[in-house]
Amino acid sequence: MSRPSRPWLRRAGWALVVLAVAVLYWLLPIRGQVSIAPGGVWEEPWPRWRVSPTNERGGPTTVQISDVVGWPHVLATVDGQPVSVQLRASGSPGVYTWAFVLPASADGAPVEVAFYHSCNTGCLRRSSIILGADGATGRATPSSQLASAPTHLCAVEANPERDWHGRSGWDVTLTYARLADQAHWGIDDLAWRVQRATAQGLRVLVRVDYDQGQSLPPAGDERALALYLDYLRRLARDQRLAGVYGYVLGNGFNELGSNSLDPQQPVTPAWYARLFNGYGAPAAQGDNAVQVVRAENPQVRLLVGPVRPWVDDQDGAQPAPIDAPWLNYFHSLAAALDAGVQAKQAAGYALAAPDGFALHAPGRVGDLGAAEPQSDQRRPEWNGAQAGFRVYRDWLEIINAFPSTRGLPVFITSTNTFVAAEGVTPADNYPAGWLSAALAEIGQAPQVQALCWFLDQDRSGDARWDDFSLTARSGRLVDAAAEFDALLQTAPQP
């Protein structure tokens, strides 16, 4: 004999299911618009997700995203890694469906799947979900616990496999405006690198160059400037890059080798300040990095890029207290930035100052060995300019000479024991204990926030950097790599 039908009970049961799902939705740390229904389908609200679980033979898992807006320039990521998305016929008028196959590497643990649009001008997140290995949603479990104890230690192009021993260190990585959509140097691979680094608790500084061999747009080239500013706008807008600590604009631009596209128009101090905060242009004109970036994202930090020490390719019109070409250049640049800030403030624009400075401070070991970072090396032929690691003190003296830059944080975004004029790489000249002494030296300078070894791991395939790499550990870099790791475990917190 069959049971009597009880539609009210069935309705109550589904109501309890819906209530439980609603509670689960609000409790789970899932970003975006997500709703859940039986069978791997998320029906309401838009966008709708459908997951086809792995079949019994171990086939691929397919993810579909449907929406009522035909979003342009879409992208999907799996734990930050971009995946190829295909537009499919939805079968329903006014509905657009995109699909991709979940990478095999993502089948073993819960992953975050995110869907973005408008990526040609900076990806905006539309929705995201957490998928388990069986295609079902689950709690968002971070890939690693965020480090909590800060450290000044930093690595340029940090190895994603490095053990930071629970320390919140720093990573410096690089992107090029003219290679924005290319592999490795472009924005998609940059976003993936940033995601992996921040998942480890690292604070990421992104150096933004114009092109390979050309750190910044050539002086006076307004078209190149517009392209560079467009890329900065795109970086500031892209929600995948929300974890970036700050952007470093250019690098070593006082050196002719960093002006190879147009050597007749090298980046001058005045042009750098023009690019950075509009120095020399009408105050109402907004085509400069500070105004372009902060119009998109007021929280973004912009750092003045580092000047190369001991280079006399360019001088500066306003001599520094110590008269040397690289210091004169930097002094003229800081003076122009300060003048740009004053002009903007007089016109009612409050946010024109930089958020900090990136510096180069290489060591010049010579006979000093590990004591070099804590030793003055003032050269009479350079009017007393420092010739080694303590060049950072010469940079600080200039930064602190101007009202709008005084006291700003600085980041040593490149250091090691290589001096170009001598041509001996760290693999051949690193003295054990040098990095420890450099860390202790900057511990006496509260403005210095980071000490970045150049470099950790070159991921572009260029073997010439092996003699600098903590990961490759060539020659004496075995000692440097061991010291870096030991300092992460023993160095006091700043």
271 and 415 together in one domain = yes
241 and 92 together in one domain = no
Q: Is residue 8 part of a domain?
A: no
Instruction: Report d(CA 481, CA 475) in Å as an integer.
Output: 11
96 and 153 together in one domain = no
Closest CA to 176 of 203, 226, 213, 202: 213
Q: In the numeric block, which tokens belong to residue 167?
A: 């320390």
Closest CA to 205 of 241, 160, 233: 241
- Give burial (CB, 10 Å; 0-12/13-18/19+) of 266: buried
Q: Which residues contact 387 (CB under 8 A, 6 or more apart)?
A: 310, 364, 377, 378, 379
Note the pLDDT of residue 131.
82
Q: Is residue 429 part of a domain?
A: yes
For the CA atoms of 452, 203, 133, 41, the dihedral, rounded to the nearest 10 degrees, stands at -140
153 and 202 together in one domain = yes
Q: Is residue 399 part of a domain?
A: yes
pTM, to two decimals? 0.86
Instruction: Report d(CA 125, CA 48) in Å as an integer.
Output: 14
Note the pLDDT of residue 167.
95
Contact criterion met (CB below 8 Å) for 333 and 319: no
Note the pLDDT of residue 378.
98
104 and 187 together in one domain = no
Contact criterion met (CB below 8 Å) for 210 and 267: no
- Each residue of 369-380: b (16+ CB within 10 Å) or e? ebebbebebeee
Closest CA to 77 of 97, 59, 60, 63: 63
75 and 123 together in one domain = yes
Q: Which domain holds residue 450?
A: 149-490
126 and 224 together in one domain = no
Helix (H) / strand (E) element for 236: namely helix 222-237
Note the pLDDT of residue 102.
84
Note the pLDDT of residue 106.
53
Helix axes 289-296, 269-277, angle to 10 degrees: 20
Note the pLDDT of residue 25.
34
Q: In the numeric block, which tokens belong to residue 350?
A: 């409050």
167 and 124 together in one domain = no
425 and 377 together in one domain = yes
Domain count along the chain? 2
10-residue mean pLDDT series, the chain (494 residues): 40 38 34 38 75 65 91 93 87 90 71 93 93 49 54 98 96 98 95 95 98 98 98 98 98 98 98 98 95 95 98 98 98 98 92 95 97 98 98 98 98 97 96 98 97 93 90 97 97 78
